[in-house]
């Protein structure tokens, strides 16, 4: 079994939304059953519906227009991600901080006419963490890192950096996650 701890960044606006959100970065860490990192995947994605990033989006994510202009469109990025997952030649579970990432993948797959079956095995680390470390309500990744006294590395709201940080929490409680 391989666990794909992932985080996405997507187009966003402060105020009126110009188009549906689209993925602009896929970051993922592959973790084996012993809690060891087997590999990393990171790609930027050029949005199709609203290819010009908002200033708000760039400030939030630190992803610049040049980064997405030179990136593949979603179908090619999607295929590269799936190829990377399948290179491990094992069953896998997708693990993200909440359900947003799975929903955004579904949206982008639908937009481009791509299969969504690969998303069936997914858990929300955020919601399961809330059961492991009861809080009033599920908390954000940054709050969970603070609760665990784990340093946030990299830039918050960058897919690969957030995936690495989520992976730290995931590995700490490796034997406590429920997969069904």
Element (DSSP H or E) covering residue 5: strand 2-10
Q: If you average pLDDT over residues 38-48, what whole number do you get? A: 98
Closest to 76 measured CA to CA, from 23, 30, 40: 23
Element (DSSP H or E) covering residue 46: none
Predicted local confidence at residue 16, as pLDDT: 83
Predicted local confidence at residue 159, as pLDDT: 98
Torsions phi, psi of 24, nearest 5? -120, -10
Please name the residues in contact with 131: beta carbons below 8 A apart, sequence gap of 6 or more. Answer: none
- CATH number of the domain encompassing residue 6: 3.30.420.10
Per the prediction, the chain carries an average pLDDT of 97
Residues 122, 124, 129, 134: what is their CA dihedral angle, to the nearest 10 degrees?
-130
Predicted local confidence at residue 54, as pLDDT: 96
> Cβ atoms within 10 A of the Cβ of 21, count?
21
Number of domains in the chain: 1
Of the candidates 22, 25, 78, 157, the residue annotated as catalytic is 157
Of the candidates 9, 22, 25, 78, the residue annotated as catalytic is 9
DSSP three-state, residue 36? coil
DSSP 79-102: HHHHHHHHHT-S-EEEEESSSHHH
> Cβ atoms within 10 A of the Cβ of 126, count?
20
Residue-wise pLDDT for 101-119, tens only, equals: 999 999 999 999 999 999 9
Residue-wise pLDDT for 9-28, tens only, equals: 999 999 888 899 999 999 99
Closest to 6 measured CA to CA, from 71, 111, 85, 60: 85
Taking the C-alpha atoms of residue 131 and residue 145, their distance in angstroms, rounded to an integer, is 16
Predicted local confidence at residue 135, as pLDDT: 87
Predicted local confidence at residue 105, as pLDDT: 98
Residue-wise pLDDT for 83-104, tens only, equals: 999 999 999 999 999 999 999 9
CB 75 within 8 A of CB 112: yes
Active site (annotated) includes residue 157 = yes
Predicted local confidence at residue 8, as pLDDT: 98
Query: Tokens in use for 56?
Result: 């708000």
The model's pTM is: 0.97
Active site (annotated) includes residue 107 = no
Range of the domain at 135: 2-176
């Amino acid at each position: 079994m391989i666990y794909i701890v992932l985080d996405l960044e997507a187009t966003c606006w402060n105020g009126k939304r110009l188009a549906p959100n689209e993925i602009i970065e896929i970051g993922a860490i592959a973790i084996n059953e012993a809690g060891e990192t087997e590999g990393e995947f990171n790609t930027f994605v050029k949005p199709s519906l609203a290819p010009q990033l908002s200033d708000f989006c760039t400030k939030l994510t630190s992803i610049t227009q040049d980064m997405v202009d030179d990136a593949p469109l979603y179908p090619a990025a999607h295929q590269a991600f799936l190829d990377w997952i399948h290179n491990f030649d094992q069953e896998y579970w997708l693990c993200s901080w909440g359900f947003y990432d799975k929903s955004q993948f579904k949206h982008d797959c639908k937009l481009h006419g791509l299969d969504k079956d690969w998303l069936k095995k997914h858990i929300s680390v955020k919601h399961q963490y809330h059961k492991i470390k009861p809080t009033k309500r599920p908390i954000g990744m940054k709050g969970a890192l603070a609760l665990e006294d784990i340093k946030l590395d990299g830039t918050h709201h960058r897919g690969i950096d957030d995936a690495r940080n989520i992976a730290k929490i995931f590995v700490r409680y490796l034997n406590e996650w429920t997969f069904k």
